């Protein structure tokens, strides 16, 4: 990646952008002016390491402070904002998010980096397979494609079959979807005798779930679509902060526009390379609705590039091995074993004959257990159960169910039913 800076130059750039952000927001943003009051003159920050002494921001805090649909962390009067979005509410009450025109341009700068990884530009036709709704992710992907000079194809309101027909008739070259929905599109295409490999899609960009950095899911997507796969990560309240590459699993944090920190899940202190950690992000360009030291809840394993790797043309941004591994509040503890939903997905998707699945967690005779239902073309659930035993060290009840009997998902998949929480 020629032209990218060294780590020291990158840190200097981020510090400058953080200072600029603070100078812009603190005279006007009551939420952060009050929050950072104990820091003193925050704009005088001399090194990024000083952030470790600043307070965190949490989604729960922002939700609680929002007033009648108006976000708490706005810098400017409401009439200066031109876009409304909200979080999905997957992990609690939806959070309203406003953006100014300048904020949205910042989103586009981030998407420019994401799309460049896949070589997306003029001549491409980008089908965004989503109902859109108020969620920023697909809107920003759509607008990002347009800003990159590609044809942006919306598909809100269309059925899965309608989207496939649109891809066929317009000869879409890029598909943007969640991993689950990209798999479902291929499943429906096969049922309709429409070979997804012959549609001409050369690149599948996935986000919203960990699948793009899971080897089994990534491999299946590549095989079904005969396409390359690009992982991406973002959040409505934070922005499009991460991008993978075409070579394999993992995500790079877009450090020119986000400063990442990593909290060890064991100690709560700064994580070491490769240690399981919660990702904390500070936006460096979204002045209208900034977040500073925002606890994302995403679990990752950070790796910092060496000077030799950067000198050889490698990316200087911190890399997350395996992408997003799970969420702090999604980890399952079964008989003393910590299990992330992504690990289950990776095991099940390793069997190409399994079309869909659902996991139920329950307690029986004071012991927690996993039960997995699979739509399996081979009707041989015992081989999947053996893989769970080998990979997780747990005996899992795996049963085959009739084809088409399990739910499908366009947005973020909800395949895990925890009956223990329901009873609580």
Do residues 146 and 232 both lie within one domain? yes
Query: What is the rounded distance in angstroms from the CA atom of residue 180 to the CA atom of residue 352?
Result: 14
Do residues 304 and 165 both lie within one domain? yes
Do residues 78 and 223 both lie within one domain? yes
Residue that is last in its domain, among 269, 301, 327: 327
Do residues 307 and 370 both lie within one domain? no
Pair 263, 270: CB distance under 8 Å: yes
Contacts of 220 (CB under 8 A, 6+ apart): 183, 349, 352
What single DSSP character describes residue 306? P
Q: Tell me the pLDDT tens digit for each residue of 130-151.
A: 988 898 989 999 999 999 999 9
Query: What is the rounded distance in angstroms from the CA atom of residue 58 to the CA atom of residue 297?
Result: 9
- What percentage of the chain has pLDDT greater than the value 70? 96
CATH number of the domain encompassing residue 117:
3.40.50.12780
Residue that is last in its domain, among 292, 327, 362: 327
Q: Is the pLDDT at 350 greater than 50, yes or no?
A: yes
Contacts of 371 (CB under 8 A, 6+ apart): 359, 360, 361, 362, 396, 397, 398, 399
Do residues 313 and 375 both lie within one domain? no
Do residues 247 and 339 both lie within one domain? no
Task: Give residue 182's pLDDT band: very low, low, confident or very high (50, 70, 90).
Answer: very high
Do residues 6 and 21 both lie within one domain? yes
Q: Tell me the pLDDT tens digit for each residue of 275-293.
A: 999 999 999 999 999 999 9
Q: Tell me the pLDDT tens digit for each residue of 70-93.
A: 999 999 999 999 999 998 765 567
CA 282 remoteness from chain centre: 16
Residue that is last in its domain, among 327, 348, 378: 327
- What percentage of the chain has pLDDT greater than the value 90? 77
CATH number of the domain encompassing residue 413:
3.30.300.30
What pLDDT is recorded for position 133? 87
Do residues 346 and 369 both lie within one domain? yes
Q: Is the pLDDT at 205 greater than 60, yes or no?
A: yes
Do residues 233 and 287 both lie within one domain? yes
Do residues 252 and 367 both lie within one domain? no
* Averaged pLDDT, 172-194: 94
Task: Give residue 261's pLDDT band: very low, low, confident or very high (50, 70, 90).
Answer: very high
Pair 116, 142: CB distance under 8 Å: no
Q: Which domain holds residue 298?
A: 1-327
Torsion of CA 215, 173, 132, 320, to 10 degrees: 30
Do residues 368 and 221 both lie within one domain? no
Residue 69 phi, psi dihedral angles, 5° rounding: 80, 5
What pLDDT is recorded for position 90? 56
What pLDDT is recorded for position 328? 84
DSSP secondary structure letters along 51-76 = GGGSPPB-HHHHHHH-BTTB-S---S
Do residues 50 and 103 both lie within one domain? yes
Query: What is the rounded distance in angstroms from the CA atom of residue 82 to the CA atom of residue 102?
Result: 10
Task: Give residue 1's pLDDT band: very low, low, confident or very high (50, 70, 90).
Answer: very low
Question: Looking at the 3D structure of the chain, how many domains does it have?
Answer: 2
The mean of the pLDDT values for the chain is 92
């Amino acid at each position: 990646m020629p032209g990218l800076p060294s780590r020291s130059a990158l840190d200097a750039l981020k510090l400058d952008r953080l200072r600029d952000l603070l100078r812009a927001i603190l005279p006007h943003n009551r939420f952060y002016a009050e929050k950072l009051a104990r820091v003193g003159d925050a704009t005088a920050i001399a090194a990024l390491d000083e952030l470790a002494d600043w307070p965190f921001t949490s989604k729960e805090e922002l939700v609680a402070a929002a007033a009648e649909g108006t976000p708490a962390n706005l810098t400017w009067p409401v009439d200066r904002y031109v876009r409304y979005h909200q979080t999905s509410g997957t992990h609690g009450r939806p959070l309203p998010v406003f953006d100014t025109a300048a904020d949205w341009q910042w989103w586009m700068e981030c998407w420019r980096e994401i799309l460049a990884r896949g070589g997306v530009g003029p001549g491409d036709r980008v089908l965004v397979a989503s109902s859109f709704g108020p969620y920023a992710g697909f809107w920003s992907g759509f607008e990002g494609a347009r800003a990159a000079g590609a044809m942006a194809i919306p598909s809100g309101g269309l059925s899965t079959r309608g989207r496939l027909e649109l891809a066929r008739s317009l000869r879409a070259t890029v598909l943007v979807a969640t991993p689950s929905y990209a798999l479902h599109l291929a499943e429906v295409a096969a049922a309709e005798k429409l070979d997804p490999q012959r549609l001409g899609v050369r690149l599948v960009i996935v986000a919203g779930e960990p699948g793009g950095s899971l080897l089994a899911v990534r491999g299946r997507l590549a095989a079904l679509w005969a396409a390359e796969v690009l992982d991406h990560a973002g959040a409505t309240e934070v922005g499009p902060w991460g991008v993978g590459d075409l070579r394999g699993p993992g995500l790079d944090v877009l450090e020119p526009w986000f400063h990442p920190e990593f909290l060890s899940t064991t100690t709560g202190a700064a994580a070491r390379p490769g240690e399981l950690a919660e990702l904390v992000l500070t936006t460096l360009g979204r002045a209208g609705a900034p977040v500073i030291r925002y606890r994302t809840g995403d679990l990752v394993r950070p790796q910092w590039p060496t000077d030799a790797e950067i000198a050889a043309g490698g990316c200087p941004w911190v890399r997350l091995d395996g992408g997003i591994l799970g969420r702090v509040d999604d980890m399952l503890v079964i008989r003393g074993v910590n299990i992330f939903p992504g690990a289950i997905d990776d095991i099940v998707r390793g069997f190409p004959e399994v079309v869909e699945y659902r996991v139920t967690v329950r307690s029986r005779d004071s012991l927690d257990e996993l039960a997995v239902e699979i739509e399996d073309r081979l009707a041989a659930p015992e081989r999947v159960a053996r893989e769970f035993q080998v990979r997780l060290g747990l005996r899992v009840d795996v049963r085959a169910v009739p084809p088409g009997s399990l739910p499908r998902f366009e947005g973020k998949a909800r395949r895990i039913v925890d009956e223990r929480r329901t009873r609580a």
